Structure 1
Amino acid sequence: MSIEVLRPIYLILIPILVIFIIYLGKSIIEDKRRKRLIIIIRCVIAILLTLSLVNITVNKITKDTSTIFLLDLSHSNEEFKENGQDFIKKTLKEMGTSDYAGIVVFGQDAKVEKFVSKSKTINTIESKPIASATNIENAINTGISLFPSDKAKRFVLITDGEENIGKLEKTIPSLNEQNIDMKVYKVEKSFKKEVYVDSLKLPDKINIGDEFSIGVGIYSNIQTKTKVYLYEGSTLKAQSEVSLTKGMNNFTFKDIQKSGGVKNYKVVIDPAEDTEVKNNEYIGYTNVLTREKVFIAEGKKGQGDNIANILTSLGYSYDRGLGTELPGALKDMLAYKGIISVDIHGEDFPKGFKDSLDSYVKEYGGAFIATGGEDSYALGEYTNTPLEKVLPVNMDMRGKKEIPKMSITLVIDHSGSMGGGSGEVSKLTLAKEAAQKAADTLRENDEIGVIAFDQSYSWVVKGEKGSNKEVVKDKIGQIQVNGGTSIYPALKEAYEYEKNSDAKIKHIILLTDGQDGFRQYDDIIDGLGKNNITLSTVSVGEDADTKLLQSLAESGKGRSYHTDIYTDLPRIFAKEIFMASKAYLNNREFTPKLVNSHEVLDGVINDGKIPNLLGYIGTSPKENATVVFNSDEDDPILALWQYGLGRSVAWTSDVTGKWDANYTNWDGYKKLWGNILNWSLEDYTSGESNLNISVQGNEAHIEYKSNSVKDNTKLSGIYTKSDGTQGDFNLDIKAPGVYEKNISLDESSFYSVSVREENDGKITSVKNGVIALQYSLEYKLMGDTGALDSLVEGTNGKFIKLPKDIFNGEIKKVKGGINLSLPLTILALILLMLEIAYRRLDLNITLPKFINRIHFKKKVKKAPLKKERNLAESKIEIIPKVLENNQAPKEKVKKDKVKKNERAKLNTELLLKKKKDRSNE
């Protein structure tokens, strides 16, 4: 046993405090006995508190031992989880009374499953570390932090030893310094035939048109053959069948890029013999350097000619293609600073493009400019899509221009001929899909009816509200092919129903693929005009009576459509619903009105005149949008707004020369588009900052360097997976001008990253980057690196196989210390409360008699007789304190005097007797 004093310097306080307390004790208004007791208690309290500061520890050798199990739960060792759990359970049963145990599970990170305790039971291991890598170094450091200081220490490491993050050897000095007994259970794995892609090497940057090399490394533990496929995006660039030898096999491909931006590559192998398929592909990317450019997307070939000529004259670099050729992934969209759509129907935008458009503009600072035409905006089914979300206008008419209640009746041929079609999809199937899409476009207060006809007719849906879309669509879906073709009775029924409707807009759509020879439609035609009912017709296929249907549409002041491409039917029906209101498509000449001044108008209107436009698509402005030009009916013609980091522009007229014919030769038109592009393509990325991204395991390290960061600057970022899933983060300062963050990613994929500086609510700088996260490192064959052997040798540890082996061998005992600081503090507090109670409650308590006697004997031995007499007399004179306003009864005072006289007499006799004894000696 030993006593350890950690802060002896505080001992100097004891005499200082005692002297100070005695000095202050002179001012205590109490009798001498009480005063002395109070001073003594206070001195003891001061001494106890001082000793608690000194931090005294009583040490003794302890027999307690704490054992921490480190169980590897990474992918490479996942098959051993159940066996490892059973091994730990059996070991816990072998524990003695002085044994304690804890459990840490690990992969890339480490999690505490069980803190060190005497408990000998565990259930199923619940903790789930990141299994995509093995970091034994981190697991050991985590376990070291859990060891109690007053117990002997032991590690039981259960792993295959295939570390791929961290360095196990770095832990050896710490293990030796803390005398930790090291036991290692090495998991032996059976041989499996394995082939995997080890690497894909691409240059970081290349120039357009330059040929470059792509290096592919394939590892195999057997001799076999494999097919190798190289993709750029979804395009197969090369393929080959190769023979593999045991070990690393390297191959090289060549490629040339003709467009700029980040280009992603993927190599895929198909080995003849293999076990794990998750490691059979590898991804990478390169950045093709080019000037910032835009993409011109057109609905039909040639529609983008005019805007392309304007961009060329302004010196802009651009790519051009149909709407279907737009980039379909965010990382590919980021190759362009802005995207201009020219009269593209919503269905012609790739799904990936629409899914990524919001992030492209809002989070990554891209620009989106939409121009009009008969296939755009509401007529192009932009409603309730990301296109509408990003643009500064609503697709429906609101406010004063809000469309009144509509009633739509669909008259659909379901005769036997409608069972035919193109491929496996019948014309009736597409007609039903078209009717369902028409129902989707209705507002809640609109009404819809559906009549199915062959040689007779029946109501499928009658006067159903737009709020019941699902009911309507379900009933439409039940229409079946049947019978011949008789148009008139069904059309007459639809007319009679609409004639009695209270809706302001009444419209009938007739769809058929046949003819019945009946021509007496005069009563219906006359009634349509008188009751403000419009009629549009859709003829399908070669057998349809197109002349009749065109005549009916013209008489009904509607539109006539003919299609042999049956897949057009849903698009036609949806468009017809909007066209029926006569508010969306405006084919007429008007002079735009200037509503707000804006920088896009700088140098545009020099003479105060604006040419007339010949048409536009009706929309309504969003609340925070800036409308620059309005139509003569106050519908937006040019509207724009800031959307997150990016900007979007809506030009509701066209750029094909149909509606903007008067603008093509106007000098201000080129200037207007130059200003629109300059404003929407504002560059946030020109600041002096750098973004560096590195990947380890499934964790990406983001490092951002900038000299422009101020004290109040907010540094944040966002990352987007190729499927559109997003996450955000804030960067932490590492050093002046250097900021970093580690983000965990969940699966192999490409991730786009954007980091931005924000000052006073305004974005001042943005940097974009890309992450290529590979398959888990656990699916690579690391082999025996000798790390476990080095660990056992460096710590004098031992490899084990059985639970009983863990407790064999000597383990260095440690001193178990009991720190007295807390007990001393508690004792001081108890004495303090007693001292307060003694003074406040005026308790009549004196020191114990034996203390008085000891004190008295010491004085007698040292003092002369005269002093002894004086001392005895002074003792006799001590009387109880009596308060002035609380006098004791006379009898009590008298009894007290008698008792004191008796005590004084005894004391005097005792003194005389002792004096006589000395004389005799």
Structure 2
Amino acid sequence: MSIEVTRLYALLLLPLLIGFLYYTTRKYKVKNKKGKSVLITRIIIFLLLTLALCDISLKINLKENSTIYLLDLSDSAKEFKGEGEKLISEAIENSPRGDKSAVIAFGENTAVEQFLTKNRNFKDATAIPTKTATNIENALNTALGIFDNQGGKRIVLITDGEENEGDMIKAVPSLKEQNVALKVYKINKQKQDEVYVEDLKIPENINLGEEFSIVVKIQSNVKTSGKLSLFSGREKKGEQQVEIERGTNTFVFKDKQLSGGFKDYKVSLSADKDTETKNNEYIAYTNVRAKSKVLLIEGKPGDAGGLESLLKASYVDYKKITPISAPRSLNELNEYKAVITCNVHKEDLSKEFLDNIEPYVKDYAGGFIATGGEDAYALGEYKDTALEKILPVNMDMKGKKEIPEISIVMVIDHSGSMSAGDGISKLNLAKEAATKAIDNLRTTDDVGVIAFDDSYDFVVKMQKANDKNAIKKSIGSIGDGGGTSIYPALEEAYKAQKESKAKIKHIILLTDGQDEFHEYDDLVKKLNDDKITLSTVAVGEDSDRRMLGILAEDSKGRSYYTDTNTDIPRIFAKEIFLSTKVYLNNRTFVPKITGNHSVLKNVVEDGKMPNLFGYVGTSKKDKAINVLSSDEDDPILSLWQYGLGKTVAWTSDMSGKWSGEFLTWNKNLQLWRNIVDYAITNYDGDNSLKITQEGNYAKIEYTLKDGEKAGKVTGVYNSSQGEKGDFNLDEVEPGKYETKVKLKDFDFYNFNVRKEVNGSVESSKSSALAMQYSKEYKILQNNENLEGLVNDAEGSFIKSAEDIFKGKIKNEASKTNLTTLFTILAMLLFLIDVAYRRLNIDLSKVFKKLGLVKLKSKFRKRSEKQFELKKAKNKGKPTNENSKKIINKAKVNLESDNRQDSKEDSMKKESIEVNKEQKKIVKKESSKSKNTLDTKALLKKKQDRNGREV
């Protein structure tokens, strides 16, 4: 135990205390008992306050120590896990009794397996840290935060020392400050054959069509053969069979790019002798400088004919492709300033295109223009897709043209011939078509499904389409049947629709055969009388196309023939919308100008516009701008800003079927120049964007020109595999903003950073990052850092569990600060002093009442007699009778006093008992007297009362 005084200079106040004591006693000559008590109390208060100012702590050395085991579970040390667990288990089991132990697993981060405890059992590590990096600095700092402030501290670090994040040397000052004994068990890994791609060098910027070199650097600790493959996006650019020597190897590819934008490259290595494959790929990118380009996607040949002519006349650099060739990655989309679709059905576009079109517009300022036709908008199944989300129009009709309740009955042939088909049967396609049609119904709509062969069955009885999964399950249960009998099934569908209360009633008939019965006139009349429409789908050459066509025409429906099975699902989905007669509008009208916008600049002369002959029905979104409308106020040309980008909806076509007069109008060229210019947003300024990799993080640096200020700087990122996120940048100096974003995968990432002022985006910048595999998978030999840590921290390397507890460990004492105690005592004495002086409390009477005076006197007398006895004994062995008499007398007196004390205590107890008995008797007599009638007193009270009444 020891005492620690932090402010020793405060003890200089003690001479003042002594001087004050001397001066007071000499000047005031305090003689009475009260004055002496006040003086002594104040001296003690002054002394306690002085001690409180000294900041005194009491330190008690403890024998228990704490040991924290840090186990490296990163991928570079993964094979040592079992051996490391065995070492820790043995060490904890044999640790000194009373010691505490903790276990922390680490890689890139830490995972506490066991907090400090005296439990001596440890089997294996179940905590799982991130294994793709090694950060020893972070592990040491975590351990330092877990230690308590009692006993000695010891850290046992079990690692290969190959740190690739953080800097373990930075933890040395903290280790020394806390007197931590560091023990390091270095993992000695067996040498394995290892080959990896260390670097891929590409020029940062290249010109369109320019040939450039791609340099691949490979490291190896073994001589072997292998194959190098080079890819750019989905395209394979080259392949080489290579001989790899020990050390550094360099190989070169050549390439050129014919389109602009960021181009990612990936090299892949396959070696005959190799252990770790995670380091066999490397990514890089280059920026191809090219003129702004527009992508034109044509649904069917001729659908983009009119628009293509306009683009050529406007000298717009464009590329025309089919839907199946549409870009499948965000990086491919970012090659273009805008994308235009001409009568493109959703089913013809890839899922990857639909997944990336929204971030392309919203986050990377891409433009999107959709033009109409019978395969676009609602008829192209845009509803509830990314296309509907980014366009300024809804696929559902709203307001006065909102669709009333619909009732649909699907009549499906499941005869034996329907089981035929190339790869997939016609019946399965029919069931898929019915399922798709269900998706386009609302929960308020009615639906029924009849399956027929030579008889029929109501597979889905008429019901609301609110349980779509159950309806689809029933449709899926339709099996193969026998012959073909159409009329009875069709008649049953009519009966079901006649009972329906829906405003729109429609039947869809699908068959691949022929029916011997051809007398449908009475059924057609019934359908027309009850305003029920019928559409037919003839599948294959064996179907009765003529009869089915007449039946649909007479029943005010549409007839389809398909010999390509893939058309069947699309037909059914489209029929749901066509049955309403509001989506497909074939009529002549003059568009109305409903909004004043820059796209009409130099276009309108005296308010005159040419005719249109049709369009697809949509409804305007709330924040969109309607520039042109139909004669029924449906949108023809609508536009809006979506995120950073802008989108345009032209609901008529561009093939000439509906827009023939528009395409020959002398102002149409200016109109479409304005539309394309509007869609192509240019936010690029003189601001700079730099993105670099730091470990598993992307460091983003955004610098504004001339140190200008921004209200807010934000950004987004997207990987080629679909990972995405957003972030905010912090201003680190005037006009410079930075942040770090943790990325999960080895991949190519697109970034966009934008500057906002008053909530409006003023400028933005795009860039990219090729995120490489972690340095964890490189051949590293960081032994120097580990040895430096041990030397600087005055630690030691160990080879076994027994070495952990060898050597001295600085014992951290338990420290208790006494400042608060001294302060509280001083305050209590001060209150007693005030009470003693102000309230004239006689402390002797208080003590006497509490029995403390007698106790003090008794204690003093006994002490005096014990002292006399001790004094007599200390004179030595008695040599005469006189000394023996003195000792005996002292013993007798002491025994007599003890008996007297005992007798007094006994008498006191008896006195207390007697007093209790007397009190009981008095109480009893008093009670009796109360119960006895006092007639004299009652008579007197009565006389007094009579006198008052008189």
Separation in 2, partners of 1:684, 1:757: 10
What are the equivalent positions in structure 2 for 1:703-852 lying under 5 Å apart?
A: 703-707=701-705, 713-783=711-781, 785-793=783-791, 795=793, 797-811=795-809, 818-828=816-826, 830-831=828-829, 843-845=841-843
Q: Rate the CA distance shift 1:526–1:792 in 2: closer, same or farther, 3 A.
A: same
1:180: how far off?
4.5
Q: Alpha carbons of 1:770 and 1:127: their partners in 2 closer, same or farther (altered >3 Å)? A: farther
C-alpha deviation, 1:434, in angstroms: 0.7
Asked if 1 retains the 8 angstrom alpha-carbon contact of 2:708 and 2:735, the reply is no
Q: Which residue of 1 aligns with 2:532?
A: 533
Determine the structure 1 residue equivalent to 2:262: 262
**Structure 1 residue 583 displacement after superposition:** 0.4
Is the 1:709–1:757 contact (alpha carbons within 8 Å) kept by the matching residues of 2? no
In the alignment, the residues of structure 1 paired with residue 11 and residue 756 of structure 2 have an alpha-carbon distance, to the nearest angstrom, of: 56
Q: Which residue of 1 aligns with 2:882?
A: none
Asked if structure 1 preserves the Cα contact closer than 8 Å seen for 2:230 and 2:238, the reply is yes
Q: How far, CA to CA, are the matches of 1:37 and 1:294 in structure 2? A: 102
Task: Please list the CA deviations of residues 601-640 of structure 1 after superposition, one character each: whole Å capped at 9, or x if unmatched.
Answer: 3333232212222111101122222222221111111222
Task: Tell me the CA shift for residue 437 of structure 1.
Answer: 0.7
Distance in 2 (alpha carbons) for counterparts of 1:767 and 1:183: 50
- Within 5 A, what are the aligned runs for 1:515-594? 515-594=514-593
CA contact (8 A) 1:354 1:386 kept: yes
Equivalent position of 2:900 in the other structure: none
The equivalent of 2:697 in structure 1 is 699
Using the size of structure 1 for normalisation, the TM-score is: 0.83
SS in 2 for 1:529: helix
Q: Could you tell me how far 1:673 is from its partner in structure 2?
A: 2.7
Task: Return the offset for 1:395.
Answer: 0.5
In structure 2, what is the Cα distance between the partners aligned to 1:277 and 1:132?
Answer: 13
Aligned residues: 841
Aligned partners of 1:101, 1:136: CA distance in 2, in Å? 19
| Equivalent in the alignment of 2:29 | none
What is the distance in 2 between the residues matched to 1:778 and 1:63?
Answer: 41
Q: CA, structure 1 residues 517+67, in 2 after alignment: closer, same or farther (shift >3 Å)?
A: same
Pair 801,515 (structure 1): closer, same or farther in 2 beyond 3 Å: same
Larger Rg: 2
- Looking at structure 1, the residues matched to 244 and 11 of structure 2 have their Cα atoms a distance apart, in angstroms, of 77
Looking at structure 2, the residues matched to 301 and 842 of structure 1 have their Cα atoms a distance apart, in angstroms, of: 115
Distance change >3 Å, CA 666–CA 54, structure 1 → 2: farther
CA deviation after TM superposition for structure 1 residue 378, in Å: 0.3
Aligned with 2:466: secondary structure? helix
Percent identity of paired positions between Structure 1 and Structure 2: 49
Whether the aligned pair in 2 keeps the contact of 1:595 and 1:627 (CA below 8 Å) is yes
1:359 aligns with 359
Per the alignment, residue 673 of structure 2 pairs with 674
Name the CA shift for 1:118/1:479 in 2 (closer, same or farther; >3 Å): closer
Cα distance change, pair 744–845 in 1 and its aligned pair in 2 (3 A):
farther
Which blocks of at least 5 consecutive residues in structure 2 are unaligned?
21-31, 853-950
User: Greater CA deviation, 412-421 or 523-532?
Assistant: 523-532
**Alpha-carbon distance in 2 for matches of 1:810, 1:397:** 84
Distance in 1 separating the partners of 2:784 and 2:15: 62
Counterpart for residue 474 of structure 1: 473
Secondary structure of the 2:467 match is: helix
Secondary structure of 2:610's aligned partner: coil
Q: Contact conserved, 1:692 with 1:704, CA < 8 A, in 2?
A: yes
- Alpha carbons of 1:580 and 1:152: their partners in 2 closer, same or farther (altered >3 Å)? same
SS across alignment from 1:403: coil
How far residue 126 of structure 1 moved from its aligned partner, in angstroms, is 5.6
The code of the aligned residue for 1:386 comes to: A
1:230 aligned residue: 230
1:454 aligns with 453
Question: 2-side partners of 1:461 and 1:211: how far apart?
Answer: 64
Aligned-pair Cα RMSD in Å: 3.6
CA contact (8 A) 2:710 2:755 kept: no
Q: Does the Cα contact within 8 Å between 1:460 and 1:475 map onto a contact in 2?
A: yes
C-alpha contact 1:34 1:845 (8 A) present in aligned 2: no
User: 1:185 offset after TM fit, Å?
Assistant: 0.8
Aligned to 1:606: 605
Letter in 2 for 1:381: E
Aligned partner of 1:719: which letter? Answer: Y
3-state SS of 2:482 partner: coil
Task: Tell me which residue corresponds to 1:659.
Answer: 658
Counterparts in 2 of 1:166-565, with a 5 A limit?
A: 166-169=166-169, 180-422=180-422, 424-565=423-564
**Counterpart code for 2:388:** E
What does the per-residue CA deviation read over 1:701-752, in whole Å, with 9 as the maximum and x for residues that have no partner?
2222225887772232233333434323222332332222222222222333
Matched to 2:529, the amino acid is K
Q: Which amino acid letter does the alignment assign opposite residue 579 of structure 1?
A: L
Q: 2:327, 2:333 within 8 Å by CA — same for their partners in 1? A: yes
Which range is displaced more, 333-342 or 815-824?
Answer: 815-824
Tell me, yes or no, if the aligned pair for 1:292 and 1:336 is still in contact at 8 Å.
yes
Q: Distance in 2 between matches of 1:512 and 1:702?
A: 61
Quickly say closer, same or farther: Cα 1:775–1:45, change in 2 above 3 A: farther
- Return closer, same or farther for 1:403/1:89 CA change in 2, 3 Å cut-off: same
Superposed displacement of residue 426, structure 1: 0.9
1:75 alignment counterpart: 75
Paired residue type of 1:538: V
Q: Which runs of 5 or more structure 1 residues have no equivalent in the other structure?
A: 21-31, 851-921
Q: Point out the more displaced range, 798-807 or 819-828.
A: 819-828
Summarize deviations over 1:395-435 as a string: whole Å, max 9, x none.
0112211112212222222122211112x211111111011
Q: Which stretch shows the higher mean deviation, 824-833 or 85-94?
A: 824-833
Give 1:785 shift. Answer: 4.2
Corresponding residue for residue 626 of structure 1: 625
Amino acid at match of 1:390: I
| Distance in 2, Cα, partners of 1:548 & 1:426 | 24
2:75–2:131 contact (8 Å) kept in structure 1: yes
| Cα distance in 2 between the residues matched to 1:622 and 1:548 | 43
Q: CA deviation at 1:106?
A: 2.4
- Offset, 1:665: 3.1
What are the Cα deviations for residues 452-506 of structure 1, in whole angstroms up to 9, with x where unaligned? 2222222222312221222221111111222122223322332333234322212
Partner of 1:863: none
Contact 2:709/2:735 (8 A) holds in 1: no
Contact 1:6–1:56 under 8 Å retained in 2:
yes
Q: Secondary structure at the match of 1:421?
A: coil
Q: Is the 8 A contact 2:708 2:734 kept in 1?
A: no
Matched-pair contact (CA < 8 Å) for 1:92–1:120: yes
1:813–1:446 Cα change, 3 Å: closer
Judged with a 3 Å threshold, the aligned counterparts in structure 2 of structure 1 residues 525 and 178 are, in CA distance, closer, same or farther, namely closer
Cα deviation, residue 578, structure 1: 0.7
Native 8 Å contact 1:331 1:770 kept in 2: no
TM-score after normalising by structure 2: 0.81
Residue 10 to residue 345, structure 1, CA distance change in 2 (3 Å): farther
Letter in 2 for 1:768: S
State how far apart, in whole Å, the 2-side matches of 1:452 and 1:174 are.
80
- In the TM superposition, what is the alpha-carbon distance from 1:586 to its structure 2 partner? 0.6
> 1:649 corresponds to which residue?
648
Q: Secondary structure at the match of 1:673?
A: helix
Letter matched to residue 799 of structure 2: K
Please give the alpha-carbon distance, in whole angstroms, between the structure 2 residues aligned to 1:70 and 1:280.
Answer: 30
Given that residues 344 and 380 in structure 1 are in contact (C-alpha distance below 8 angstroms), is that contact kept between their aligned partners in structure 2? yes
CA, structure 1 residues 167+503, in 2 after alignment: closer, same or farther (shift >3 Å)? closer
Q: Measure the CA separation in 2 of the matches of 1:285 and 1:87.
A: 46
Q: 1:380, CA displacement in angstroms? A: 0.2
Give CA deviations for 1:366-416 in whole Å, capped at 9, x if unaligned: 222211111011000011111111212110112211112212222222122
After TM superposition, the structure 1 = structure 2 runs for residues 91-240 of structure 1, keeping only pairs within 5 Å, are 91-96=91-96, 99-110=99-110, 120=120, 125=125, 127-144=127-144, 152-169=152-169, 180-240=180-240
8 Å contact kept, 2:391–2:648 = yes
Alpha-carbon distance, 1:6 to partner: 4.3
